[in-house]
Amino acid sequence: MKNVLVTGADGFIGSHLAEELVRRGYRVRAFVFYNSFNSLGWLDRSPKELRDAMDIFAGDVRDPNGMRTAVKGCDTVFHLAALIAIPFSYHSPDAYVDTNVKGTLNVLQACRDLDVERLVHTSTSEVYGTARYVPIDEGHPLRGQSPYSATKIAADQLAFSFFASFGLPVSIARPFNTYGPRQSARAVIPTIITQILAGARELKLGSLHPTRDFNYVADTVEGFLAVAGSPRTLGETVNIGSGFEVGIGDTARLIAEVMGAEVTIRQDDQRLRPERSEVERLFAANALARELTGWTPTHGGLDGFRRGLEKTVAWFREPANFAAYKPFAYNI
């Protein structure tokens, strides 16, 4: 990798990835969503020396011409741009098809036409639906239990089809539930942390019994870089997960313990997914990532999860960071 494009660089994982690429000496073009506020998303809060080293490209993955312009001159592309909020996908599924499916097609076409040397496409553990067996390996059946996950399945299959049909050098990175600094409040861990920081001792959450495989963002970034750096991942889908399973209720109690707060938890019906849409269990098998790339999580197990939460809480405690959140507004 020399010249690298990161789509979704204004987002949670994308901003961390773009920064790490700059730290490692790559020339980074950061693709951010065009808006009239001239906002760079989370890159606005990046250290100035890192942000200034990036070539900021404002555009929209739904536009094929702009996408082709963004890809030009880049030898590696990390495609992270997507609509990701599951509740929003229930009432605006068209937007998810346009962004996640057609947007991915635009990235694939541009990479093919411009002879990109490596494309890393971002999947999600949501494509598996509720686990039929655990740990979930890459051969697990796919099940779109929400419009969001259905569009990500479609995008993944498009990416693989370009490898199989045209020889496009594609790898599919499939991160499980990433958490850490900058994550939006539509996710459960920031929801818990911000409510406690705002003084709440009765937390409003959705379903408490599902389990998740939470992966600290620095581990996810390392996973992306490992996938991009290994020729053995071409045409492969690779889970990026901690290999540790924990319930949502237990997660809330652990966060409260880390923060030194005594809390009770109340189920808020508006935060519940439709019954058949709820993914009840996610628990990653990460042996393939280790085999093909040598990647292993540094925040695995209960001890690693606690360390990741401590870092995340410390970031949210900073007043300037906390000010970006609305703790008592339900963010779909």
* Alpha-carbon gap, residue 8 to 99, rounded angstroms: 11
* Alpha-carbon gap, residue 36 to 236, rounded angstroms: 38
Identify the pLDDT of residue 205.
86
Least confident of 47-51, 116-120, 231-235, 277-281: 277-281
Q: 114: left (phi > 0), else alpha (psi -120 to 50), else beta?
A: alpha
Q: Which residues pair with 265 in a beta bridge?
A: 203
The mean pLDDT of 279-295, rounded to a whole number, is 97
Q: Work out the mean pLDDT of the chain and round it to a whole number.
A: 96
First to last CA, the chain: 36
CATH number of 179-212+245-282+300-322: 3.90.25.10
Angle between helices 188-197 and 248-259 (to 10 degrees): 40
Selection from 125, 263, 298 nearest residue 193 by Cα: 263
* Alpha-carbon gap, residue 151 to 267, rounded angstroms: 29
Q: Where does the pLDDT of residue 37 fall: very low under 50, low under 70, confident under 90, or very high at 90 and above?
A: very high
**What is residue 280's three-state secondary structure?**
coil
DSSP sequence for 41-97: GGGGGS-HHHHHTSEEEEE-TT-HHHHHHHHTT-SEEEE------HHHHHH-HHHHI
Instruction: Output the six-digit token pair for 60.
Output: 């929209």
* Alpha-carbon gap, residue 105 to 147, rounded angstroms: 18
**What is residue 176's three-state secondary structure?**
coil
Query: What percent of the chain lies above the pLDDT cut of 70?
Result: 100
Q: The sheet that has 3-7: what strands, in order across it?
A: 55-59, 27-33, 3-7, 76-79, 118-122, 170-175, 237-240
> What's the pLDDT tens digit per position in 251-286?
999 999 999 999 998 888 888 778 888 999 999 999
CATH 3.40.30.10 fits 3-178+215-240, yes or no: no
Identify the pLDDT of residue 1.
66
Identify the pLDDT of residue 8.
98
Domain boundaries, the chain: 3-178+215-240, 179-212+245-282+300-322
pTM, rounded to two decimals:
0.96
**What is residue 178's three-state secondary structure?**
strand
